[in-house]
Amino acid sequence: MLLDEDSQAKYLVNLLQVASHDVVTVNAVGLMNRPDSVVLDQARQDQRVLLTRNCNDFLELHQANPTHSGILAIYQNSDAAKNMSYQLIVKAIANLEAAEYALKNQFVILNQWNY
């Protein structure tokens, strides 16, 4: 899994790793402040699912070229109290896995898997 700039908090990285996910951040691969298209290209090259809060930009990239390992989009609410916590993000990913949902070439709104 490749974590976009907006999603690479150390605590989230640690929670994902504890949940047995192979996690790499854009910072670790030298892509900080690079265009979203470059980040998605790296995810494609490495065959990694991309986790981001930059939903609109990555939705546009997905629509332009839907060939990738999957994009997990976390939508933010104007009311910060309604945003997904790091624990809920990890739980939503576990729900996706439990459902055996095929992520390849999909733009998935992770918020919908938070139950």
Q: Which residue reads 């999909």 in tokens? A: 106
- By the 10 Å C-beta count (0-12 exposed, 13-18 middle, 19+ buried), 45 is classed as exposed
State residue 77's pLDDT score: 79
Residues (pLDDT < 70) of the chain are 81
